[in-house]
């Protein structure tokens, strides 16, 4: 056996590698009034971690429940670790880095989870994958599906950015826009799976999503010369990415490769702050999310409990920022580093700007800080409407050039 499952709430152990979603007991209590319970954690067997410990260079495959036999079919990372010189200077944070997951194949971090779920499907002999998404997870799953010949059924809020939806249609997925929120699409996708089968990839509901997402931490560890940063800023909606980041560091620690887990800083919009409330006040009730940062607009976070405890265990905290601040930071990021990130990803940077003095007081100015830029801004240019416009064309003449003021 390579792994087994443990319930993140009651701690019950399930010694099986069969397809499992949630703890049958704890998930019985889920009724939408509070963050769901019963999400499962995949625990790798000791021999797997022992083998990783002895290696001079590890890759996510050493830690995946379903390792890949053909990594080139859909390469995940290594994504660039950028030193944003001008921004680091402005903020006086010399050891600031951006991790550019916007450069994954479908343009977002979600490729990581989608790839591991595709490997799960392959191992279990399943061809159909069903999911709900705010846009990026759907596009990522559809891209992996195209590369690996899988049938993707995707439920999305009809209001998701058009490019994210078009992207999934182009990859050949069956796209079902829902007249409702992401949370509604989530519920319908689970109903679909009950009715018509297939593997459900919903974020956190399928524990393999966390396993895929943890690959970033393994990658960072090698990229940073077998060390980890002091702090990582992560944009948070459902809480699956941050829980995945935490799981990667935890697996590295369990394997004896690192001694401490970095502080995890959860970055949220003030208009979608369910997990922040859980971190600060143990409040697990839903919110009415309205943020323009569509990828992190979540009422009832599917992985809220695990995310909140991962942040607290790491000694980290939550930072909320206004939508206005997010959009300003998105522009600053573009103009001062050359990275065009989507609003959700820019939220992590906005949170760092907001939190700059606090993090320096906690960890010192030389702290090594990584901001996860989780998705490209090219998918949602509409966000710049009424903010940025193309200049008027000039006449085709030297006279017109002479009049230019720059």
- Choice between 101 and 355, CB closer to ligand PLP: 101
**100 touching ligand PLP, by CB under 6 A:** no
Residue selected from 22, 68, 106, 136 as contacting ligand PLP according to rule CB under 6 A: 136
Longest dimension (CA), the chain: 78
Using CB under 6 A, which of the segments 3-11, 86-94, 132-140, 384-392 binds ligand PLP?
Answer: 132-140
Nearest CB to ligand PLP, comparing residues 95 and 334? 334
Identified binder of ligand PLP from the candidate list 8, 79, 106, 134, rule CB under 6 A? 134
Contacts of ligand PLP in 280-319 (CB under 6 A):
295-296
Does residue 129 bind ligand PLP (CB under 6 A)? no
Of 238, 299, 323, 353, the one binding ligand PLP by CB under 6 A: 238
Binding segment toward ligand PLP, per CB under 6 A, in 26-34, 40-48, 107-115, 398-406? 107-115
Q: Which one of 4-12, 236-244, 351-359, 392-400 is the stretch in contact with ligand PLP (CB under 6 A)?
A: 236-244
Is position 178 an interface residue for ligand PLP (rule: CB under 6 A)?
no
Task: Map the chain to HEC letters.
Answer: CCEEEEECCCCCEECCCCCCCECCCHHHHCCCCCCCCCEEEEEECHHHHHHHHCCCCCCHHHCCCCCCCCHHHCCCCCCCEECCHHHHHHCCCCCEEEEEHHHCCCCECCHHHHHHHHHHHHHHCCCEEEEECCCHHHHHHHHHHHHHCCEEEEEEECCCCHHHHHHHHHHCCEEEEECCCHHHHHHHHHHHHHHHCCEECCECCECHHHHHHCHHHHHHHHHCCCCCCCEEEEECCCCHHHHHHHHHHHHHHHCCCCCCCCEEEEEEECCECHHHHHHHHCCCCCCCCCCCCHHHCCCCCCCHHHHHHHHHHCCCEEEEECHHHHHHHHHHHHHHHCCCECHHHHHHHHHHHHHHHHHHHHHCCCCCEEEEECEEHHHCHHHHCCCCCCCCCCCCCHHHHHCCCC
Q: List the interface residues with ligand PLP, window 362-401 (CB under 6 A).
A: 374-375
Give 212 or 262: the residue with its C-beta nearer to ligand PLP.
212
Task: Compute the distance between CA of residue 234 and CA of residue 105 in angstroms, rounded to an integer.
Answer: 20
Position 345 contacts ligand PLP (CB under 6 A)? yes
| Residue at shortest CB range from ligand PLP | 375
Should residue 240 be labelled a site residue for ligand PLP when binding is judged by CB under 6 A? Answer: yes
- 191-230 residues near ligand PLP, rule: CB under 6 A: 203
Nearer to ligand PLP, 239 or 262 (CB): 239
- Please, what is the minimum distance in Å from the beta carbon of residue 109 to ligand PLP? 6
Exactly one of 8, 108, 168, 202 binds ligand PLP (CB under 6 A); which one?
108
- In the complex with ligand PLP, the residue whose CB is nearer, 212 or 257, is 212
Partners of 39 in the β-ladder? 22
Half-sphere exposure of 250 (CA within 13 A, CB side): 20
241 binds ligand PLP (CB under 6 A): yes
**Interacting stretch for ligand PLP, rule CB under 6 A, among 146-154, 247-255, 328-336, 339-347?**
339-347
Could you tell me how many residues of this chain bind ligand PLP (CB under 6 A)? 21
Q: State the residues that interact with ligand PLP by CB under 6 A.
A: 108-110, 134, 136-137, 203, 235-241, 295-296, 342, 344-345, 374-375
């Amino acid at each position: 056996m390579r792994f087994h499952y443990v319930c993140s709430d009651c701690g019950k152990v399930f010694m099986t590698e069969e397809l499992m979603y949630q703890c049958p007991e704890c998930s019985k209590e889920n009724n939408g009034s509070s963050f769901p319970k019963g999400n499962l954690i995949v625990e790798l067997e000791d021999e797997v971690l022992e083998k990783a410990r002895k290696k001079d260079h590890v890759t996510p495959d050493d830690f995946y429940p379903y390792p890949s036999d053909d990594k080139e079919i859909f390469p995940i990372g290594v994504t660039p670790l950028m030193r944003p010189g001008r921004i680091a200077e402005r903020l006086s944070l010399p050891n600031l880095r951006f991790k550019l997951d916007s450069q994954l194949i479908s343009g977002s971090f979600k490729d990581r989870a989608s790839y591991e779920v595709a490997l799960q499907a392959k191992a279990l002999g399943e061809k159909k994958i069903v999911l709900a998404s705010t846009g990026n997870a759907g596009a990522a799953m559809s891209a992996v599906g195209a590369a690996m010949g899988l049938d993707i059924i995707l439920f999305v809020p009809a209001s998701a950015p058009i490019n994210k939806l078009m992207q999934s249609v182009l990859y050949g997925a069956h796209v079902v826009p829902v007249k409702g929120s992401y949370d509604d699409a989530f519920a319908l996708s689970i109903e679909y799976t009950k009715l018509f089968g297939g593997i459900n990839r919903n974020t956190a509901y399928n524990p393999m999503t966390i396993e895929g997402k943890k690959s970033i931490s393994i990658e960072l560890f090698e990229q940073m010369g077998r060390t980890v940063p002091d702090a990582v800023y992560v944009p948070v909606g459902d809480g699956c990415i941050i829980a995945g980041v935490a799981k990667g560091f935890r697996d590295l620690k369990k394997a004896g490769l690192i001694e401490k887990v970095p502080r995890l800083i959860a970055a949220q919009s003030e208009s979608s702050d369910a997990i922040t409330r859980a971190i600060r006040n143990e409040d697990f009730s839903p919110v009415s999310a309205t943020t323009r940062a569509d990828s992190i607009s979540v009422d009832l976070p599917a992985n809220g409990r695990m995310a909140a405890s991962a942040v607290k265990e790491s000694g980290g905290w939550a930072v909320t920022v206004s939508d206005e601040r997010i959009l300003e930071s998105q522009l600053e990021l573009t103009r001062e580093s050359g990275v065009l990130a989507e609003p959700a990803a820019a939220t992590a940077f906005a949170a760092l700007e907001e939190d700059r003095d606090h993090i320096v007081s906690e960890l010192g100015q030389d702290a090594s800080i990584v901001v996860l830029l989780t998705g490209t801004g090219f998918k949602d240019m509409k966000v710049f409407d009424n903010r940025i416009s193309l200049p008027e064309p000039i006449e085709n003449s030297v006279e017109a050039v002479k009049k230019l003021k720059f």
